[in-house]
Structure 1
Amino acid sequence: MAVLVLLLVLLMVNPGISQSNNSENDVNTPIRSFCGRNRPIVPSNFINNRNSTFTAIRRQLSNNNVFYARAQSLLEGDSVFGVTQCRNYLSTSQCMACFDAGVSRLLSCITGNGAYVFFDNCFVRYENYDDFYDDPNVVEDAGITPLQICGNQSTSHQPTTMFREVVDGLLLDIKDATPKTSNFYVASTRQITSGNAMVYSIAQCVENTSQTVCQTCLNTIYTYLYNCLPNTEGRSINMGCFARYSETPFFNDNQTIDITSFLKGQALIWLFQLLLFHILAVPQSIIWHSSKVSIIAGAIGGTVGLLFILIVLWFLLRLRKKSKKSEEGNCVTVYSPDLKGAINYNYKDLQLATNNFSEKNILGKGGFGEVFKAILDDNNTVAVKKIEVAHAKAKEEFENEVKLVSNVHHRNLLRLLGWSSEGSHLLLVLEYMPNGSLDKFLWGAKRGTLNWKQRYDIILGIAKGLAHLHDEFHVKIVHRDIKSSNILLDDDLQPKIADFGLARFQPEDQSHISTKFAGTLGYTAPEYALRGLLSDKVDTYSFGIVILEIISGQRCTDTNSDRPSMDYLLEHAWKLYENKKHIKFIDETLDVNQSQEEHVMHIIEIALLCTQSPVSKRPTMSEVRLMLSTGQSLGKIQLTRPTLIDQDRRIQIGSSNKAISLGKVSGMPKELEANEQLHGEKAYEKVDVMEKGMNVATTLL
């Protein structure tokens, strides 16, 4: 064994001398590495097996034209399975030098039984399991996301759009060709201008994987590479593939691979795409990256193919003429059966309009992503909501919001203008509200700037929007997340309800539906949070809480005020109402006269009516709208104490002298105590569920 260790030390010396003119290939700087966290059972056995595996791999790489090698050592437990792959433009000595650099880097990983390191020229990886041989994405220690590395210099070629188009075309070609090659490797060049300027690019998948895995991997990292443009170079690494482009040569001109045969039928595809774009004006986002278009056009050829195209285009043209009659304005849109009424925007156009989703353009952050200000080509300003697909519920929220709201139009509902869904990029294009969200005016930077009339108009506008969702649209929609931060204000400070990602249909023949809790803690009705009973009255409850926030200028979960330390907003409002002192509930920054005071107190009573339990005591939003707009009195309606939270944060139901205490929810994580606006789906997943006739999903912070 000592001989093996000595041999390994000797092998660490870099023996390679470049046989290529590209000196860059002799530089092996790690660009991604990882040491596993699962400790070996017997470290000495693990180290011996790892050394044996490295030795066997290096022996294979010493043979000419061997760029992929794997080995394993299973002696005395603590098995080690290893694999290495070099880029095919390297010489044998360069490949071995890269491998040696990787081994040297990984020798320090002795606390875990798996590790990897990536260079431009190769990667080295070992694990204590062999699943990753055939599927490199199998990672047992931790989830690995693709890595994007862009150069820090923009191209000098003008216009940059030409550079972007040329490189993008090259990247698309190698992305499509690489999985079709026998060794999953392509190196190609493309001329930038009429001169001699060139761009160099390669793509490579792990050789032992499948064509499907390779294609999926390259589809993912292509997007990352495209985001590097118009920089002079870019790299993207995933566990199963690697791609790179650069204006600086990193392989020889005679090392390129002719990919023409792998792109057979591409010319016909381009013709088909051009006809679709210029004759039918189909948006580019549907055409240029559509696999269906490629499959159709690639499957046909010659005279028969051309005839087929002409027939299809004639048919589509007739359909387009018919659809034009129903289009509004001069904007060309493409509709999907499931996404009616929304424009399909091109991702790249939205990326440009948001200045590559710059932090300077951020308008706000939601449960599943960020919202950016964007200026489109027609100088219209919109808001672009970028959904984070890392969350399991992200795509569901995206599809839900588009399908539910694309046909809903009301002056108090934020209009969905369009969407974009390209690969992992999910974007919603929404109306831009220059005044931002209501909460900024209540306790944010604009606190105290709203007078009573403006606050009342906002309350009435929200009620009108909810009444439309519940009673005036052809189906009943429950928003599920009504809160001040989801109320946006236009130029005239008129409210628009936003963020329909959690919205749900409620069948007309059902008083409620049973579902998992989703919403924002503090605004959620007790029957929904406790038993998962969802109805339009859940929105009514949340609306009542928002009214109290608008009148008081305080958060519903804020305890840092003049009221008792553990009295949340609803309880504070109720105690003042009980003692006929609810005039003290009015925001101290609000200057109201005597007649306005009476009006405010009337609205407080409506808010408390909206928060009544049981559900049958709450009015519908149409009734609330009527009470607000006409000044209708509550009449003989007797208000009872709403569901409250006492000083021990115990959930109470019923009147103060007959409260049923359910006790504090056990196992409540600290992040729930610290974040009163944690997104509902996440809250449900993190809170222990107690089932004793009801599901306790939150303590209603």
Structure 2
Amino acid sequence: MMAINEDSSIFLDPPRLPMPPPSPSFNLGFNKSTFTYEELAVATGGFAEANLLGQGGFGYVHKGVLPNGKEVAVKSLKSGSGQGEREFQAEVEIIIRVHHRYLVSLVGYCNADGQRMLVYEFIPNKTLEYHLHGKGLPVMDFPTRLRIALDSAKGLAYIHEDCHPRIIHRDIKASNILLDFNFDAKVADFGLAKLSSDNYTHVSTRVMGTFGYLAPEYASSGKLTEKSDVFSFGVMLLELITGKPPVDVSDTEDDSLVDWARPLLTQALEDGKFDELADPRLQGNYNQQDMARMVACAAASIRHSARKRPKMSQIVRALEGDVSLEDLNEGVKPGHSSIYSLGGSFDCTQSTYDADMKKFRQIALTSTEFASSECGTSSTDSREMTPSRQPKPK
């Protein structure tokens, strides 16, 4: 993803401009700390450039220190951003429902004097994207990659299956996985999340998210389910396995990581050899059984048919070694499931997927706005598609 320091002009301190009044239905009546603008200005050093962590379509995120010494990330809404206001309201309505070890926690908020800000716990060790794809950094060892995958899967399983109503994150990607200094992971950024219900098979919505991570049925129809998140998680698993980014938008004919990896996943699961898939920087230093579990989970998660993808709780158990890989695949041999519609609402043919991905890639190429995240928080651009600028898998 685009580094936040590519254009220093975005680092200007956000002016304290009045924002449009909150919607009449927008109620922040939850049991969290409230802050004044002045308190958060002091905490962030006047929203200083030196404390800027990231920016996106919604506005800015700054690091702050509260009077009690607690470090926080202060997410402020950009003045006059209609989409940003919707994302802010959605994030509040979502985040008040969740509390889990592997989800970033809300500390409090400011909703006074025309200012709207969310105050999150500060996660100090930047993002998974940074540590996987940043230049000149130590190679992340395989046990750490497996633990990050498991932590993230547990956080997603919680919002998919244990929250009422259920929550679909809609923007699972490496830059939205934050790491502490022990490399424990937390899922962040619920600005695009949607509430779901047991009474409905899907949520129909505009296609939003990050290019390279979008599930094919969601990209082609806008019909969103928990299995859309599962696909995105599968792409992230592939990043952890291969060390490669999800897509390169510099050439409309280049394959995505998913397209590149699919035949290799099938072959690896058949012959038990993972060297062609595994990040060469690991130099073969990985546990074969653990790698087999990660590869099987990735292969099952990126199936064309949403109905045939596992639930996140199944992925958790598979990564922990508590279920056989046959149970994960439910009798479907990797690489042999039908990609054509069998009457379900969320299957997608390969030809439809390829056509839509070509269209979305063209959109991404002409886009001038990017999502960015850095230094312990993440942000989501307000555009409907946010592309990656990483090199193509080789």
Q: Does 1:607 align with 2:298?
A: yes
Conserved? CA contact 2:210–2:385, under 8 Å: no
**Among 355, 361, 368, the residue aligned to 1:662:** 355
For 1:640 and 1:677, locate their aligned partners in 2 and report how far apart those are by CA, in whole Å: 32
- Listed one character per residue, the Cα deviations across residues 208-228 of structure 1 (whole Å, up to 9, x for unaligned) are xxxxxxxxxxxxx9x569xxx
For 2:38 and 2:162, locate their aligned partners in 1 and report how far apart those are by CA, in whole Å: 37
**Among 301, 307, 310, the residue aligned to 1:616:** 307
1:42-61 correspondence runs (5 A): none
Q: CA deviation at 1:569?
A: 0.7
% identical equivalent positions:
32
**Among 398, 418, 421, the residue aligned to 2:88:** 398
Please tell me whether Structure 1 or Structure 2 has the larger radius of gyration of its CA atoms. Answer: 1
Conserved? CA contact 1:397–1:502, under 8 Å: yes
For 2:221 and 2:82, locate their aligned partners in 1 and report how far apart those are by CA, in whole Å: 23
For 1:493 and 1:379, locate their aligned partners in 2 and report how far apart those are by CA, in whole Å: 22
Relative contact order, CA 8 A, sep 6+: which one is greater? 2
For 2:164 and 2:321, locate their aligned partners in 1 and report how far apart those are by CA, in whole Å: 26
1:259-338 correspondence runs (5 A): 338=28
Q: CA deviation at 1:355?
A: 1.0
Conserved? CA contact 1:583–1:601, under 8 Å: no
1:225-264 correspondence runs (5 A): none
Task: Report what 1:682 is aligned to.
Answer: 383
| Count of residue pairs the alignment pairs up | 342
The one-letter code matched in structure 2 to 1:538 is: S
For 1:559 and 1:519, locate their aligned partners in 2 and report how far apart those are by CA, in whole Å: 15
For 1:532 and 1:599, locate their aligned partners in 2 and report how far apart those are by CA, in whole Å: 35
The one-letter code matched in structure 1 to 2:62 is: F
For 2:31 and 2:43, locate their aligned partners in 1 and report how far apart those are by CA, in whole Å: 22
Q: CA deviation at 1:438?
A: 1.0
Q: CA deviation at 1:550?
A: 1.4
3-state SS of paired residue (2:248):
coil
For 1:337 and 1:559, locate their aligned partners in 2 and report how far apart those are by CA, in whole Å: 40
For 1:672 and 1:638, locate their aligned partners in 2 and report how far apart those are by CA, in whole Å: 39
**Among 204, 211, 229, the residue aligned to 1:539:** 229
Q: Does 1:484 align with 2:177?
A: no
The one-letter code matched in structure 2 to 1:637 is: V
1:429-444 correspondence runs (5 A): 429-444=119-134
3-state SS of paired residue (2:276):
helix
For 1:457 and 1:556, locate their aligned partners in 2 and report how far apart those are by CA, in whole Å: 20
Q: CA deviation at 1:374?
A: 0.3
For 2:179 and 2:367, locate their aligned partners in 1 and report how far apart those are by CA, in whole Å: 30
Pair 402,643 (structure 1): closer, same or farther in 2 beyond 3 Å: farther
The one-letter code matched in structure 2 to 1:351 is: A
Task: Report what 2:317 is aligned to.
Answer: 626
3-state SS of paired residue (2:383):
helix
Q: Does 1:522 align with 2:178?
A: no
Q: Does 1:345 align with 2:29?
A: no
The one-letter code matched in structure 2 to 1:466 is: L
For 1:588 and 1:339, locate their aligned partners in 2 and report how far apart those are by CA, in whole Å: 50
Q: CA deviation at 1:450?
A: 1.8
TM-score between both structures, scaled by the size of structure 2: 0.78
- Listed one character per residue, the Cα deviations across residues 581-609 of structure 1 (whole Å, up to 9, x for unaligned) are 64212112224446x13421331121120
Q: Does 1:354 align with 2:44?
A: yes
Pair 676,421 (structure 1): closer, same or farther in 2 beyond 3 Å: closer
Task: Report what 1:638 is aligned to.
Answer: 333
Q: Does 1:499 align with 2:189?
A: yes
Conserved? CA contact 1:344–1:419, under 8 Å: yes
Task: Report what 1:574 is aligned to.
Answer: 262
Higher share of residues assigned strand: 1
For 1:357 and 1:674, locate their aligned partners in 2 and report how far apart those are by CA, in whole Å: 25
Task: Report what 1:584 is aligned to.
Answer: 276
Q: CA deviation at 1:495?
A: 0.6
The one-letter code matched in structure 1 to 2:182 is: D
The one-letter code matched in structure 2 to 1:368 is: F
The one-letter code matched in structure 2 to 1:573 is: A
For 1:466 and 1:445, locate their aligned partners in 2 and report how far apart those are by CA, in whole Å: 29
For 1:676 and 1:482, locate their aligned partners in 2 and report how far apart those are by CA, in whole Å: 16
Conserved? CA contact 2:142–2:285, under 8 Å: no
For 2:33 and 2:136, locate their aligned partners in 1 and report how far apart those are by CA, in whole Å: 34
Conserved? CA contact 2:364–2:385, under 8 Å: no
Task: Report what 2:66 is aligned to.
Answer: 376
For 1:463 and 1:567, locate their aligned partners in 2 and report how far apart those are by CA, in whole Å: 26
Q: CA deviation at 1:403?
A: 1.9
Q: CA deviation at 1:512?
A: 0.9
Pair 676,365 (structure 1): closer, same or farther in 2 beyond 3 Å: closer
TM-score between both structures, scaled by the size of structure 1: 0.45
For 1:395 and 1:224, locate their aligned partners in 2 and report how far apart those are by CA, in whole Å: 14
Unaligned runs of 5+ in 2: 1-14, 19-25, 340-346, 373-379, 387-394
Unaligned runs of 5+ in 1: 1-220, 226-335, 645-651, 686-701
Q: CA deviation at 1:669?
A: 4.5
3-state SS of paired residue (2:111):
strand
3-state SS of paired residue (1:682):
coil
Q: Does 1:427 align with 2:120?
A: no
Task: Report what 2:55 is aligned to.
Answer: 365
Q: Does 1:461 align with 2:151?
A: yes
Conserved? CA contact 2:157–2:313, under 8 Å: yes
Pair 659,344 (structure 1): closer, same or farther in 2 beyond 3 Å: closer
Conserved? CA contact 1:506–1:513, under 8 Å: yes
Aligned-pair Cα RMSD in Å? 3.2
Pair 670,488 (structure 1): closer, same or farther in 2 beyond 3 Å: closer
Task: Report what 1:415 is aligned to.
Answer: 105
The one-letter code matched in structure 2 to 1:571 is: D
For 1:624 and 1:506, locate their aligned partners in 2 and report how far apart those are by CA, in whole Å: 20
Task: Report what 1:119 is aligned to.
Answer: none
Conserved? CA contact 1:452–1:592, under 8 Å: no
Q: CA deviation at 1:408?
A: 1.3
